[in-house]
């Protein structure tokens, strides 16, 4: 088959509609790629739309209109877009607010003026007018913005058919946060953001609209300026010290997810496409949602600069308060040597204060410069920060440099280059689960009485290994060093343009490349190191990750009297590549840092390469005086990770929205919307292969059949989502309300299913189930007060998700990572929520019945395990944010409420002693004893309610009077703001552990409810000074 | 304008062509594909798979099989501040069938069995092997397959085990059979292997690991047949001692087999076939090298005066955890020296003591005492004992020798305590308040889940 090129018409790339085959240009063989009917239809639409380019007439006019865009107080508003409604004619206002439009059609017209942060204005232009002033009003609730609908297309939020959550850079940076996921907490309805550790530098996962996969990827897709960013979690090899699992490294290494490298201050806005109905254009990676990050850009006008300096402190947000022993007798009763108590200089050491306090100040310095003239705009930003986190010697440090430039070449070509270079360096210390030689601080504290002065750094006499967290923290280093470049080139060619239509081609090439190096060094003089017979451990992890993507698309816009038709089409190619070498040396001489000195060596290399290719096409019709929006799109994608890597999987979407013309009283806008779409979730790399594991025994190679059966036919999970809702604006934009309901069905769930182990297999990888999530999301933004210098803006979000596994092709099983049903295990079963935790909860014993029917006193016959299922996911989540402005003073607060859900508090199991009263490591021995006794008789007593209300962010800021600022600083100073801001200042929760948000395995889709001696979460208070020039 | 557009389209098409040219096919970059052996075996690939099988068999001796069975038998107490379940579930409440405790010492054996079946299924079409070599290979593979079945039966005992597992993954899971049936099957399998080894010519067509020749040689089919006979004797002994269906002819058969195993056996109590360990790159170290493994105080305290096996025991700082206190450790578990220490699979002293057990059952207390005294002298440096006055005293004597000669080497003591009905408070100290003297590990939850059931009743014929 070949591409049909029309001999008559200028050649649009139309694939012949008469056949369902696309060419395989590469091989020249007869390989046929079968496309679904949807693709064919879209292709023919695209062709039809393109044909109109040629047949339409070009009008000509000479009218010239000049004008000025000003704000409420008459101040000029730059960079406002001004266009003539119903045409493609438009321009932008300059620094002085002035604009000039040429070729304006004769007669009365309407000018549409838009500017981010202001409400849109439709200003009538009289037939005779050639000068005009347009006044814009501040958009306090940010109701007006452009939302993404395709790779290169967007639409005004007023028409959007999806509930797309957006967070502006300003909202994001209201309180300094270590990473962007933290900055999103409480701001996105329908997002549950969990953290697997309180350690600095990330380790958070965003789950959008519930659990959408059991064993495939759980991460949303991150797109940064068109680049598909890598959000991998790289294992540092901490397991070599903790032995939490087997092997050199495991998922219990408390890994950082790498999206945390991004500098939040560089972000202009984040849009969150929560599911398939909005994200279909991202095809087989969009099932978990898509998070689109747009970084800051330049703007024409005088250069403006910002410098922000922040200083702050991280402190423990919650203490467990280890027990103090009041007397030698009490120490003895608890099983300790009373002499040790008597001779102790300090009878009660506060391990938590000593180990999680006293760290130096943290700082963050941000500087940025933006500007532009002629056809050039630029944004340059720089960041240097260091968070000295609460645990002794742990820190997170980051430097980044961003340079985003754009250049207009001639009248047709716009070139944009975005570059971000990041270096991050973090040492998260040791925390979480451990085994063998206990090293996790929480674990060691559970085994050491507080009259032992651990902080002195000596051998811990209460552990045979001598393990002392203070010595460990001083001697063991685990720096993780990342150098990362994220860059993209975005070229737009306006190939054709008239008053009525435009044809643009966009080329986006992007790369996200980083090298990761971790150097775990545990010298041989660390007390516990001798315990395994191999004193000293070095683990070196060297990794290279490259994501590259190429996007070529065209967009044709036809503005007719009845409406606007936007046709976009294109192709996308992606390549994700990884090569990592992990080398461990054990039994090393003191003082060396080279892994080759290790007497016992382990070397491991892991690689992957994934290649994806997609075609897409989309049609948008905006009609009925911009009241009706209809969208249809299709994305056909193939990937090397699928069993059939030649097969294209189709991801269509369709959406409609309608702004009602007849409005109830007090209502400014009322929109009903409906969207339907499909997206996928790719099989993880390697699921299609069945391997022959190779081992070494006695210096010879050996091979045995794999215990995991791969699936040669594995295909992507297919998520189909329907969402509908209402958006309303009332009381002159003072109230905005949105309501969304969705239903998401995920078919072909990729399962790592249990096989009868007697078969010699343990796991089988299959597409074998379906789940359904339904939910509601509500947003209410109001401006109760806006009077002169005083304003109050309040935002409330609400979301709930109800998940059910609706089909399972294999028997029910415990999936993911867990410690056993004694402690709670994730349960995958038809009819159950995917976030179910299954726990054994006692026994029902059967006794033989005596003659009098006294069955309870008969002889013991048998017993059956009793199982209790707990729901680990919250019933609903809410966020309340309020901002008060009194002239120069601003007060802002964000409350994050998660209601319901259970967590297994395994940390308490460490602290509760196994026998009689008064032996535990915590003060509340009565409660501890009760739950421990229940546990030892097979009860599920360590499950706790984990709902919470957190004061996530709070800040007070004061803007200095300009005259004062200019006196103190310099005459070029525009404004100077002083701010005190805090994160996680206060938590209200029934949970008795450190924090219900912490989970030992939170990097998996299910089973995020296991709390095991974590790195305790912290709160932070920062003082900032921010100056604009 | 048209010009620009045409250029753009040509550029777009050109890029599309480049994009399409890059095929999406990517192979497995990290592993050897199972397809490498699906086309049939060669001499080289047979050797590769046999080494993999022996490695899998060695892998069965993980910390679970050895530590759990030795803990249930009250030899090892693993005191780990991070993991109470080594005590709380193994000698406390029942082991959690969903955790590493109750789910342990199970799947590894079936991995070995599948490794063995993979070789056995392909051997008939293998190229580059003589008939004798193929027979020798079958004999060796079947012997290790029988050993894997026997080990999983040691941990599950009366719960039964699955036998008929040589089926594709899509077939229904194999039925569980009761212990007497399983023992009958294993015994017959060892006989099949014996016949195959006898027809196996002078040598195996592959190199065997060092543990086959470090303490006496088992590297030829004839020499390896002694190992096979030793296992046969062991299986027959416990077939005879089975509570539910004791097989009367078994003790005589066991005696014959053990005599055959001991004929020409390597000199000294430690002669035998071993699993070896190494600290070389990507090799495995000894799974018992673990500083948290302590000994039941009774092990250290009950040693007879002058027993040179005291050298196997270390006295350390006393440790109390999870209701258990100990001040002894085993040299075999001390990481300082144990990382590369070999673990015997079957050695002469065990064969002698098994034969003593058989003789006790056959009423030959004199013969039994002779075997016991051989071990006492060679392994413990102890004086001979007089012929015990009763069968019970004879069993006491043999269990003493077994405990110290075979400390931490396999599940011998759990199996014996169970066989002699001594796994109870009459003979043993109730260590924890929850101690239920469990006799077996449960059927793992994964196995039950995969069968969509909550319990399995073994079939018995």
For B396-421, the pLDDT digits (tens) are 999 999 999 999 999 999 999 999 99
In A, minimum Cα distance to B162 occurs at A758
**Chain A residue numbers touching B182 (CB-CB < 8 A):** none
Query: Which residues have C-beta within 8 Å of that of residue A971, sequence separation ≥ 6?
Result: none
Judged against a pLDDT cut of 90, whether residue A495 lies above it is answered with no
HEC assignment per residue over A764-825: EEEECEEEEEEEEEEEEEEEEEEECCEEEEEEEEEEEEEEEEEEECCCCEECCCCCCCCCCE
Q: How far is B249 from chain A (nearest CA, A)?
A: 30
Which of A975, A1012, A1006 shows the shortest CA–CA distance to A993? A1012
Residue B299 DSSP SS3: helix
Tokens 């060669």 sit on residue: B42
Structure tokens of A614? 């997609």
Q: What angle do CA B264, B265, B268 make, to 5 degrees?
A: 130
Judged against a pLDDT cut of 60, whether residue B88 lies above it is answered with yes
Cα gap A696→B51, rounded to integer Å: 8
Mean pLDDT of the residues in chain B: 92
Cα gap B238→A251, rounded to integer Å: 43
What per-residue confidence (pLDDT) applies to B13?
58
Residue A48 DSSP SS3: helix
Structure tokens of B44? 């080289």
Q: How far is A201 from chain B (nearest CA, A)?
A: 27
State which H helix or E strand residue A422 sits in.
Answer: strand A413-427
In this structure, the dihedral spanned by the alpha carbons of residues A174, A176, A181 and A182, taken in order and rounded to 10 degrees, is -90
Q: What is the pLDDT of residues B351-390, one digit of tens each?
A: 999 999 999 999 999 999 999 999 999 999 999 999 999 9
Please give the interface size between A and B, counted as residue pairs whose CB atoms are below 8 Å apart. 331
Tell if the CB–CB gap between A759 and B165 is shorter than 8 Å: yes
Helices (H), A654-782: none
Query: Which residues have C-beta within 8 Å of that of residue B167, sequence separation ≥ 6?
Result: A759, B174
Rounded to the nearest 10 degrees, what angle do helices B221-241 and B412-419 cross at? 30
**CB A169 within 8 Å of CB A296:** yes
Q: B367 at the A interface (CB within 8 A)?
A: no
Q: How far is B309 from chain A (nearest CA, A)?
A: 23
Cα gap A438→A416, rounded to integer Å: 53
Which of A443, A647, A692, A839 is best to mutate for the B interface (most B CBs within 10 A)?
Answer: A692
Tell if the CB–CB gap between B115 and A599 is shorter than 8 Å: no
Residue B52 DSSP SS3: helix
Tell if the CB–CB gap between A692 and B36 is shorter than 8 Å: yes
**CB A513 within 8 Å of CB A484:** yes
Judged against a pLDDT cut of 60, whether residue B393 lies above it is answered with yes
Tell if the CB–CB gap between A24 and B207 is shorter than 8 Å: no
Judged against a pLDDT cut of 70, whether residue A47 lies above it is answered with no
Q: Which of residues 334-393 of A touch B (CB under 8 A)?
A: 335
Tell me how far apart the 2 most distant CA atoms of chain B are, in Å. 114
Judged against a pLDDT cut of 50, whether residue A44 lies above it is answered with no
Cα gap B426→B412, rounded to integer Å: 20
What per-residue confidence (pLDDT) applies to A852?
53
Structure tokens of A174? 């209201």
Rounded to the nearest 10 degrees, what angle do helices B221-241 and B250-262 cross at? 150
**Chain B residue numbers touching A705 (CB-CB < 8 A):** 34, 111, 114-115, 118
Give residue A401's pLDDT band: very low, low, confident or very high (50, 70, 90).
Answer: very high
In terms of phi and psi (left: phi > 0; alpha: psi -120 to 50; beta: otherwise), the region of A537 is beta
What per-residue confidence (pLDDT) applies to B359?
97
Cα gap A613→A639, rounded to integer Å: 6
Cα gap A984→A967, rounded to integer Å: 36
Tell if the CB–CB gap between A689 and B54 is shorter than 8 Å: no
**Chain B residue numbers touching A335 (CB-CB < 8 A):** 320
Q: Which of residues 327-346 of B touch A (CB under 8 A)?
A: 334-339
Q: How far is CA A881 from the centre of its chain?
A: 20
**Chain B residue numbers touching A938 (CB-CB < 8 A):** 93
Tell if the CB–CB gap between B445 and A436 is shorter than 8 Å: no
Query: For A158, phi and psi rounded to 5 degrees?
Result: -60, -25
Q: B38 at the A interface (CB within 8 A)?
A: no
Q: Which is higher by pLDDT, B346 or B266?
A: B346
Average pLDDT of the residues in B47-60: 95
Query: For A47, phi and psi rounded to 5 degrees?
Result: -65, -45
Tell if the CB–CB gap between A613 and B22 is shorter than 8 Å: yes
Tokens 């000295």 sit on residue: A388
**CB B261 within 8 Å of CB B271:** no
Q: Which of residues 634-673 of A touch B (CB under 8 A)?
A: 638-641, 645-646
Structure tokens of A319? 């203490």
Q: What is the pLDDT of residues A86-103, one digit of tens each?
A: 787 888 887 788 888 888
Cα gap A227→B401, rounded to integer Å: 70
What per-residue confidence (pLDDT) applies to B24?
74
Structure tokens of A570? 């294109």
Structure tokens of A188? 């996105």
A686-697: burial string, b at 16+ Cβ within 10 Å, e else: bbbbbbbbbbbb
**CB A184 within 8 Å of CB A191:** yes
Determine the straight-line distance between the first and last CA of chain A, rounded to whole angstroms: 61
Residue A649 DSSP SS3: strand
**Chain B residue numbers touching A503 (CB-CB < 8 A):** 5
**Chain A residue numbers touching B117 (CB-CB < 8 A):** 760
Structure tokens of A621? 């019709």
Q: B175 at the A interface (CB within 8 A)?
A: no
Structure tokens of A508? 């986006």
Give residue A820's pLDDT band: very low, low, confident or very high (50, 70, 90).
Answer: confident
**Chain B residue numbers touching A495 (CB-CB < 8 A):** 1, 4-5, 8-9
Judged against a pLDDT cut of 50, whether residue A34 lies above it is answered with no
Give residue A365's pLDDT band: very low, low, confident or very high (50, 70, 90).
Answer: very high
Tell if the CB–CB gap between A759 and B444 is shorter than 8 Å: no
Give residue A43's pLDDT band: very low, low, confident or very high (50, 70, 90).
Answer: very low
Cα gap A602→A6, rounded to integer Å: 62
Q: Which of residues 109-148 of B touch A (CB under 8 A)?
A: 110-111, 113-115, 117-118
Judged against a pLDDT cut of 80, whether residue A62 lies above it is answered with no
Average pLDDT of the residues in B45-71: 93
What per-residue confidence (pLDDT) applies to A56?
40
What per-residue confidence (pLDDT) applies to A217?
87
**CB A371 within 8 Å of CB A404:** no
Q: Which of residues 953-972 of A touch B (CB under 8 A)?
A: none
The interface pTM score, or ipTM, of the predicted complex is: 0.91
Cα gap A814→A215, rounded to integer Å: 12
Burial class (CB in 10 A: 0-12, 13-18, 19+), A131: exposed
Paired residues of A521 in beta bridges: A477, A538
Average pLDDT of the residues in A1011-1029: 90
**Residue count (chain B):** 461
Average pLDDT of the residues in A217-225: 90
Query: Which residues have C-beta within 8 Å of that of residue B228, sequence separation ≥ 6?
Result: B139, B143, B190, B193, B194, B197
Tell if the CB–CB gap between A759 and B114 is shorter than 8 Å: yes
Lowest mean pLDDT among A173-182, B15-24, B111-120, B446-455: B15-24
Cα gap A928→A916, rounded to integer Å: 10
Average pLDDT of the residues in A850-868: 62
Q: Which of residues 422-441 of B touch A (CB under 8 A)?
A: 432-434
**CB A816 within 8 Å of CB A1001:** yes
Structure tokens of B145? 């397959």
Lowest mean pLDDT among A356-370, A409-423, A579-593, B83-97: B83-97
**Chain A residue numbers touching B327 (CB-CB < 8 A):** none
Tell if the CB–CB gap between B291 and A437 is shorter than 8 Å: yes
Average pLDDT of the residues in A877-890: 93
Tell if the CB–CB gap between B26 and A609 is shorter than 8 Å: yes
């Amino acid at each position: 088959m070949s591409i049909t090129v029309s001999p008559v018409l200028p050649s649009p790339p139309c694939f012949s509609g008469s056949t369902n085959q696309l060419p395989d240009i590469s091989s020249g063989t007869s390989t046929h790629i079968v496309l679904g009917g949807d693709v064919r239809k879209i292709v023919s639409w695209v062709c039809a739309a393109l044909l109109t380019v040629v047949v339409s007439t070009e009008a000509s006019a000479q009218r010239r209109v000049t004008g000025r865009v000003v704000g409420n107080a008459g101040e000029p508003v730059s960079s406002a877009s001004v266009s003539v409604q119903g045409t493609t004619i438009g321009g932008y206002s300059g620094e002085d607010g002035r604009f000039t439009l040429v070729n304006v059609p004769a007669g009365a017209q309407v000018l549409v003026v838009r500017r981010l942060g202001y409400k849109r204005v439709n200003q009538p232009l009289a037939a005779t007018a050639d000068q005009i002033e347009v006044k814009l009003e501040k958009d306090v609730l940010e109701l007006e913005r452009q939302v993404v609908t395709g790779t290169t297309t967007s639409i005004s939020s007023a028409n959007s058919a999806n509930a797309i959550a957006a967070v502006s850079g300003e909202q994001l940076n209201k309180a300094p946060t270590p990473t962007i996921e933290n900055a999103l907490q409480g701001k996105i309805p329908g997002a549950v953001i969990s953290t697997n550790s309180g350690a600095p530098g990330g380790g958070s996962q965003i789950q959008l609209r519930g659990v959408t996969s059991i064993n495939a990827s759980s991460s949303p897709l991150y797109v940064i300026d068109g680049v598909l960013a890598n959000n991998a979690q790289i294992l540092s090899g901490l397991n070599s010290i903790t032995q939490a699992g087997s092997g050199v490294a495991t998922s219990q290494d408390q890994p950082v997810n790498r999206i945390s490298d991004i500098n939040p201050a560089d972000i202009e806005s984040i849009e969150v496409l929560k599911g398939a109905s909005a994200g279909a254009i991202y095809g087989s990676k969009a099932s978990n949602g898509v998070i689109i990050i747009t970084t800051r850009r330049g703007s024409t006008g005088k250069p403006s600069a910002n410098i922000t300096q922040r200083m702050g402190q991280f402190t423990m947000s919650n203490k467990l308060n280890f027990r103090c022993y009041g007397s030698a007798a009490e120490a003895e009763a608890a099983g300790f040597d009373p002499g040790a108590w008597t001779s102790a200089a300090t009878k009660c050491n506060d391990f938590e204060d000593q180990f999680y306090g006293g760290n130096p100040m943290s700082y963050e310095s941000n500087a940025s410069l933006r500007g532009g003239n002629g056809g050039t705009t630029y944004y340059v930003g720089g960041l240097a920060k260091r968070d000295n986190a609460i645990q002794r010697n742990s820190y997170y440090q980051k430097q980044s440099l961003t340079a985003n430039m754009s250049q207009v070449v001639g009248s047709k070509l716009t070139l944009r280059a975005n570059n971000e270079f990041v270096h991050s360096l973090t040492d998260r210390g040791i925390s979480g689960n451990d085994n063998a030689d206990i090293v996790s601080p929480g674990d060691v504290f559970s085994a050491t009485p507080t009259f032992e002065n651990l902080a002195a750094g000596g051998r811990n006499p209460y552990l045979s290994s001598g393990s002392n967290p203070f010595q460990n923290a001083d001697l063991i280093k685990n720096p993780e060093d990342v150098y990362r470049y994220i860059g993209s080139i975005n070229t737009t060619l306006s190939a054709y343009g008239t008053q009525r239509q435009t044809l643009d081609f966009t080329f986006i090439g992007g790369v996200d490349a980083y090298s990761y190096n971790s150097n775990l060094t545990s010298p041989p003089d660390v007390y516990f190191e001798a315990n395994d017979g191999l004193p000293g451990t070095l683990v070196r992890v060297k990794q290279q990750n490259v994501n590259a993507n190429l996007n070529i698309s065209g967009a044709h816009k036809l503005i007719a009297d009845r409406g606007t038709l936007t046709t976009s089409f294109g192709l996308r190619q992606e390549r994700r590549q990884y090569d990592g070498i992990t080398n461990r040396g054990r039994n090393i001489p003191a003082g060396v840092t080279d892994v080759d000195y290790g007497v016992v060596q382990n070397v491991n290399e892991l690689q992957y390469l994934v290649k994806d290719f997609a075609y897409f096409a989309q049609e948008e019709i905006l009609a009925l005086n911009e009241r009706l929006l209809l969208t249809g799109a299709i994305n056909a994608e193939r990937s090397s990770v699928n069993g059939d890597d030649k097969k294209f999987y189709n991801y269509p979407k369709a959406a409609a929205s309608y702004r009602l013309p007849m409005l109830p009283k007090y209502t400014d806008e009322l929109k009903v919307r409906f969207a339907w779409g499909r997206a996928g979730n790719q099989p993880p790399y390697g699921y299609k292969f069945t391997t022959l594991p190779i081992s070494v025994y006695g210096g010879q190679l050996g091979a045995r059949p794999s215990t995991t059966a791969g699936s040669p036919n594995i295909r992507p999970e297919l998520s189909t989502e329907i969402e509908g809702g209402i958006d309303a604006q009332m009381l002159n934009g003072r109230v905005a309300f949105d309501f969304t309901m969705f239903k998401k069905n995920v078919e072909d769930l990729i399962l790592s299913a249990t096989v009868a182990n007697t078969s010699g297999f343990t796991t089988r990888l299959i597409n074998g189930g379906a789940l359904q999530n339904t939910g509601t999301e509500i947003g209410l933004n109001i401006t109760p007060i806006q009077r002169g210098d005083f304003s109050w803006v309040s935002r409330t979000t609400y979301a709930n998700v109800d998940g059910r596994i609706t089909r399972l092709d294999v028997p029910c099983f415990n999936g993911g990572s867990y410690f056993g049903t004694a402690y709670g295990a994730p349960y995958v079963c038809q009819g159950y929520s995917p976030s179910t935790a299954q726990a054994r909860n006692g026994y029902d014993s059967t006794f033989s019945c005596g003659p009098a029917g006294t069955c309870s006193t008969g002889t013991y016959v048998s017993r059956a395990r009793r199982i209790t299922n707990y729901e680990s996911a919250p019933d609903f989540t809410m966020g309340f944010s309020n901002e008060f402005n009194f002239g120069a003073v601003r007060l802002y607060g964000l409350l994050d409420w998660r209601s319901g859900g259970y967590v297994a508090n395994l940390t308490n199991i460490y602290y509760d002693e196994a026998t009689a009263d008064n032996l535990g490591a915590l003060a509340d021995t009565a409660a501890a004893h009760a739950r421990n006794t229940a546990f030892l008789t097979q009860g599920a007593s360590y499950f706790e309610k984990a709902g919470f209300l957190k004061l996530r962010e709070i800040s007070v800021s004061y803007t200095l009077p300009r005259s004062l600022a200019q006196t103190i600083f310099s005459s070029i100073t525009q404004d100077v703001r002083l701010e005190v801001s805090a994160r996680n200042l206060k938590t209200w929760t029934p949970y008795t552990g450190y924090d219900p948000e912490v989970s030992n395995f939170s990097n998996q889709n299910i089973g995020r409810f296991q709390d095991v001696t974590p790195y305790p979460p912290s709160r932070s208070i920062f003082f900032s000074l921010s100056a604009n020039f | 304008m048209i010009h620009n557009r045409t250029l753009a389209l040509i550029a777009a098409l050109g890029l599309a062509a480049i994009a399409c040219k890059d095929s999406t096919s990517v192979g497995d970059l990290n592993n050897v594909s199972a397809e490498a052996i699906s086309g049939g075996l060669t001499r080289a690939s047979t050797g590769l798979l046999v080494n993999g099988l022996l490695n899998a068999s060695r892998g069965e001796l993980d910390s679970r099989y050895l530590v759990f069975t030795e803990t249930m038998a009250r030899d090892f107490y693993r005191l780990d501040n991070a993991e109470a379940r080594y005590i709380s579930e193994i000698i406390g409440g029942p082991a959690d069938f969903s955790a590493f405790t109750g789910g342990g010492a199970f799947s590894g054996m079936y991995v070995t069995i599948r490794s063995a079946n993979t070789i056995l299924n392909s051997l008939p079409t293998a190229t580059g092997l003589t008939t004798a070599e193929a027979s020798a290979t079958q004999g060796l593979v079947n012997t290790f397959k029988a050993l894997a079945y026997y080990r999983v039966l040691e941990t599950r005992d009366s719960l039964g085990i699955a036998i008929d597992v040589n089926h594709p993954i899509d077939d229904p899971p194999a039925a569980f059979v009761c212990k007497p049936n399983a023992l009958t099957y294993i015994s017959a399998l060892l006989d099949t292997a014996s016949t195959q080894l006898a027809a196996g010519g002078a040598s195996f067509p592959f190199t065997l690991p060092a543990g086959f020749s470090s303490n006496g040689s088992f590297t030829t089919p004839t020499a390896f047949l002694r190992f096979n006979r030793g296992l046969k004797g062991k299986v027959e002994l416990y077939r005879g001692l089975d509570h539910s269906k004791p097989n009367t002819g078994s003790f005589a058969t066991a005696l014959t087999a053990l005599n055959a195993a001991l004929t020409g056996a390597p000199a000294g109590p430690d002669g035998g076939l071993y699993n070896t360990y190494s600290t070389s790159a990507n090799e495995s170290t000894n799974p018992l090298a673990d500083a948290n493994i302590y000994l039941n105080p009774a092990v250290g305290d009950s040693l007879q005066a002058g027993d040179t096996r005291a050298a196997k025991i270390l006295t350390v700082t006393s440790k109390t955890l999870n209701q258990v206190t100990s001040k002894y450790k085993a040299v075999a578990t001390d990481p300082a020296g144990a990382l590369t220490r070999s673990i015997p699979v079957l050695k002469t002293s065990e064969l002698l003591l098994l034969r003593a057990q058989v003789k006790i059952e056959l009423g030959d207390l004199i013969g039994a005492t002779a075997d016991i005294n051989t071990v006492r002298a060679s392994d413990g440096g102890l004086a001979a004992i007089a012929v015990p006055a009763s069968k019970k005293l004879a069993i006491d004597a043999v269990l003493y020798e077994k405990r110290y000669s075979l400390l931490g080497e396999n599940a011998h003591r759990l199996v014996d305590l169970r066989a002699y009905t001594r796994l109870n408070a009459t003979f043993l100290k109730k260590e924890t308040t929850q101690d239920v003297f469990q006799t077996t590990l449960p059927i793992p939850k994964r196995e039950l889940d995969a069968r969509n059931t909550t319990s399995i009743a073994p079939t018995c014929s």
